[in-house]
Structure formats: C-alpha cells, structure tokens
Amino acid sequence: MEGIDPMDVLRSNLSRVRLPEPTNRIYKHECCVSFDTPRSEGGLFIDMSTFLAFGKDYVDWNYSKSGNPVYLHIKQTKKIVPEDRPLKKPTLLAIGVEGGFDNNEPEYGESYSIVILPNYVTLPFPSVELPEKVRLAVDAILLNEGVEKREQLAAWTADKKQVSAYAMTLQQIDNGVIVPPLGWKCAKCDKKENLWLNLTDGMILCGRKNWDGSGGNNHAIEHYKETGYPLAVKLGTITADLEAADVFSYPEDDSVEDPLLAQHLAFFGIDFTSLRKTEMTTAERELDHNTNFDWNRIQESGQEVEPIFGPGYTGLINLGNSCYLAATMQVVFSTRSFSARYYMNQNLKVAFDMAPYDPTVDLNMQLTKLAHGLLSGKYSVPASEKDGSAAPTTDAKQEGIPPRMFKSVIAASHPEFSTMRQQDALEFFLHFLDQVERANSGKPELDPSRSFKFGVEERILCTSGKVAYNRRLDYILSLNIPLHEATNKEELEASQKMKAEKISEGKDVSSHEIVRPRVPLEACLASFSAPEQIPDFYSSALKAKTTAIKTAGLTSFPDYLVLHMRKFVMEAGWVPKKLDVYIDVPDVIDISHMRSKGLQPGEELLPEGGMYYFLVFYLTNAC
C-alpha cells in the first residue's frame, strides 16, 4: 500500500504472532480445507498464530473467522534435474517421507515471504530487518517436519516386529546341512530368487506365488505345512545388521524378530558378517509394490487405458496399503446421497465456518474437503499442466489427491485404520457409516448414511406352530455362496481331473488353467431367504428343546444395497478357507421376493422367553 511502511504494519500485528511450542501441530504441506499445497499456483499460507495452512483461495476465510493477519507464505517451484540422476538409497520403510523410497519424484525449490492480511502486505524472508519474534517463529516452522509428514511417518513406523514365540526354544536338526554363501536354489524347483532358509532343518525353498504368477512356487510354506517347522529367514536379506534380516513365522503369520538369529544361522555354517543384501525384505517389497505398481495390469483388457480428466474423475493417491479406503470413498461419493450432502448442498466456506478451532479434526469439514476434491475437477488435470511445464502428451497422468487429513480424522476412533497395515474394506465401510451417522445425529434428514440402511426380519417357526420375529437394521446384506449352484459344473469336473493328473506327475498347474466355479448372484440371494433348521432351539411354548425353522426377509429396501459375499468358510476342524469363485451379476436384479411379510393372520407369537433363547443361540454361534 502506497505511503504505508510494511514493517510498521507487521510491528502493529506482532501480538498475533506466536512462537511454536513442541506440542503445537504445525501444518505446512497441505491446506486444511482443500488439497492446495506449496506447489499450487498460489502457494500455501501458514497462520502464524494457529499454524494452520490455507491455499490462496481460502486464506481470506481464515482471516475473517480468526482475525489472525500474519502468515508465512511458502511457494515451491520445480527444479530442472538430470534425467539420469541416481536414486536416493532409502533409510526408512516409508513412502513420501524424508529417508523413505525415492519414488523418482521431481525436486522443488522453496521461496518464503511474510504476508499481512487483509491487504496482502508482503515482506521478504529471510531478512535481518524483520522483528526477532517473527524470525524465530518462521525458523521454528520451517525446521518442523509438519504434522502431515509426522503422522504419516508415525503410521509407517507404528508396527514394530514382535519377538517370535518360537525363537527362544527353536529346535534345530543336526543333519549335516552347510549353507554356502551364494549360489542358492530352491530344493524343489529351479527358483533362484525369493528363497527362504528354514531355521529348523536348513531346507532352502522358494516363497509364495503372487496372484499374477510371479514370486515363488509356495514350496517354503508347503514345507511348513508338512513339517510344522515354524521359522524361516529370507536369503538375500541377511547382512551384518541382523535386525534388518527378514524372519517369518508361519504359525504367527507375520514377520518377526529372532533374538538368536546369529546362533541359528551359525548352526548351518552361515557367517552373516560377510553377506551382503541382494533382495528386498517382505516389507520393502510391499512398499515397492505400493510405489511402482502398474495398475494397467489389472484392467480386463490387459491394455493401456487412456487417462481422463475433469469433474468426477479425480484419483486418490495411495498412502500405502490404503486401497481399501480409496475404493470405498470413490464408491461412496458416486452415490447421490453423499455427493449431495457434502458437495452439491454444502460448499467449503459453510463447512469451514461451522468447523471448530482446528478444522483438520472435524469430520464434516474433511468429508466436504474430500468431496470437493474428488468431484469438482479442480485437481483432475494432467500432472504436466498442473506444474506449468510442457503441454500434456498422450501419456499424461493425473497426480490425484492424498486423503491424509480425512484418514487421520476417520481413524481417530479406530486404531487399526491409523496404521499402514492392509485392512478390510467392508470393516472400514461400516466404521465410516457409523461415524457419519454420529456426526449427523440430531439431523437425520441430513444423514447420507441412511441411503444404505435397511431392515431385516427373521422369522422362527417352532414345532408348536407358534412363531417369533427378530428385527434389526443393517447396512450390508451378507450372503452365503452356494457352490452347488455353480453353472459350469462340467468344466469344473474336467479341471479338477486335469489338476489331479498334473499333481500326480509332479507338474505345476498354471493360473490360466484354473477353472473357478461360476455362481449366479440370484442363487446367493435365494440362499439368504431359504428356510434353515435351528437344532436344539429352546421353545418357551413347549418348555423343551426342539428343531425350529428360520426364514429371513427385508422389511425395507435401501437406495443402495451393499452385498457382502462370504468367501471365507470353515472346513473340518474349524480351518478357515477362502473360496476361489466368480459371482455372475446380471444388469437388473429383482429382489421384491425378499420382502418380509411380518406377522400373518392366524399366527401366534411364542412367549417372550422363546425370543430370549433365540437371541442367545445366535449370539453364541456368532462368536
């Protein structure tokens, strides 16, 4: 402003500048109400009183709401670096954080300035003319890694390997096996990579076969099933730093620590001090898979897909094993109920004004932010266009948006989702709907989770002729898969015969030769409503145990019906097994026959005790 000394403006607002304390949450990588970053066109503005960050289009909102006028402005611009630059060696098992996997990202330079609202008075930084309080505050902000990175790093490093319950008492067999320092090969096939040394008998065998046919041939795990020998170490990960070696416990089904690993290796003549690392550990391979996986490989056509951009076509960046979250939220915001609630009928300004002091911990704000990020098209542009470089080419890709703040707030009440471990999408979906319902309590007309809710009624017919009804509300319809209803039984029989012949000849069955059962969805729906016997049902009418008949139906139909296919079944001995099966889904599904009829004329209800025992029976079996 002409005639006004910017330094005087800053001094008059010094009381609104705070020196960060160790407990302060400092945001410096992403806007609290949008997905703007320091790399965005307007850069990022950090409130020097609350340490919240805002994009260029949103910083005025914060000034109007908080009255805080002084901001640190950070702007990042891409550096020109040689194409053949060497990749940085990772020192941390993480993606997108300092010391983690390089991911071949471009490098950026940063510039800083002090901006005073509402007139955007700007002062350069660094500058010796700035008041000491401002210089100290800015230095502290810049030295801080930022809460976004700190939470991401904490999630990656939260899961420290546990000491195996089998390590201290492991029995080793003295069968004369001496393992050479190199030249390893699977004892049962020709594999020379992904090899595991069983620490009981010294057998060297290949690891698990991946879904796409890569990896090993499952010989190491088959050996465990035959012998019960629990621990194996991955050859190629053993170095002088034994803590970095990849030890796996089959009965614990996890990577573990073996405090006696040096002793266990020496038993087979292995001098770990002379070995060098030649292979990734299980965790490193998982991270590498998350970083570099080519998603075109899982397209049905198997061909490259053409990227599309614009409203409704924004991708979500993988935060590391977060595909369960990304898939769920993309589906959720494809529904009219959620897109209307958090996008069409609620703008970012309204959500921000309604949010508490810290909008990053408000579910309504973060859902609105995510909805606008996914549906507006603002961030669905080619990466080359976004950073201002050359015009997009035919292979231009979209950067997508990282749902970090949303993940942080939705996981706050569920410790499992706070980690980087793989999670179940169905469990996350139910947790998410529960949190949305709670956030909209008192305003049911605004609650979009209602569009998934429906009523279930179970009818119990006692041999006395009397009935009992149990009603509940649910968000998912869980269905059994009746394999006996498969439509390709002849193909299955031929495939099983071929597989048995190959196994008897010692040959492997390739993945493309496997024939899977094809079960119609209608058969799964019919199994839900089919009569089911309940043995040992206590009848309050007969005052004795009897066999009752249970049927089920729906008392209401949701706008969107979520089906859960029960692919895990229990075999003899309570051993869980996952069904490898296709479900054939038609374009149109008629479920009107599943509507329950309720108490019918002439039916007589069981005394209340019958319902009590019915509930006890099902709760017991559910456990």
C-alpha neighbours within 13 Å on the C-beta side of residue 408:
20
pLDDT at 390: 44
Query: How sure is the predictor about 502, in pLDDT bands with cuts at 50, 70 and 90?
Result: confident
| Residue (of 537, 531, 536) closest to 609 by Cα position | 537
CA distance 562 to 206: 39
Axis-axis angle for helices 323-332, 363-375 (nearest 10) = 80
What values do phi and psi take at 95, rounded to 5?
-115, 135
pLDDT at 535: 93
What values do phi and psi take at 55, rounded to 5?
-75, 170
Strands 562-565 and 476-479: parallel
The sign of the torsion formed by the CA atoms of 410, 413, 417, 418 equals: positive
Q: Determine which of 43-47, 155-159, 297-301, 422-426 has the lowest per-residue pLDDT on average.
A: 297-301
| pLDDT, averaged across the chain | 85
CA distance 126 to 142: 12
CA distance 533 to 551: 9
pLDDT one-digit tens code per residue, 242-267 = 777 899 999 998 889 999 999 999 99
> Which pair of structure tokens corresponds to residue 416?
């499992």
When pLDDT is averaged across residues 565-571 and rounded to a whole number, the result is: 81
- Kindly tell me if the per-residue pLDDT of 621 is higher than 50: no
pLDDT at 166: 96
Cα-Cα end-to-end distance for the chain: 71
pLDDT at 158: 53
| Residue (of 378, 266, 267) closest to 312 by Cα position | 378
Cα separations in angstroms, 50 against 19, 235, 358, 452: 10, 51, 8, 38
When pLDDT is averaged across residues 189-195 and rounded to a whole number, the result is: 91
CA distance 137 to 402: 28
> Which pair of structure tokens corresponds to residue 295?
């998603």
CA distance 460 to 466: 8
% of the chain with per-residue pLDDT over 90: 59
Q: In whole angstroms, what separates CA 561 from the centre of its chain?
A: 22
H-helix or E-strand spanning residue 156: helix 147-156
H-helix or E-strand spanning residue 223: helix 219-227
* Domains of the chain from N-terminus onward: 6-156 (3.30.40.10), 195-289 (3.30.40.10), 310-451 (3.90.70.10), 453-478+520-622 (3.90.70.10)
pLDDT one-digit tens code per residue, 321-369 = 788 899 999 999 999 999 999 999 999 999 999 999 899 999 999 999 9
pLDDT at 6: 86
| Residue (of 190, 168, 376) closest to 261 by Cα position | 168
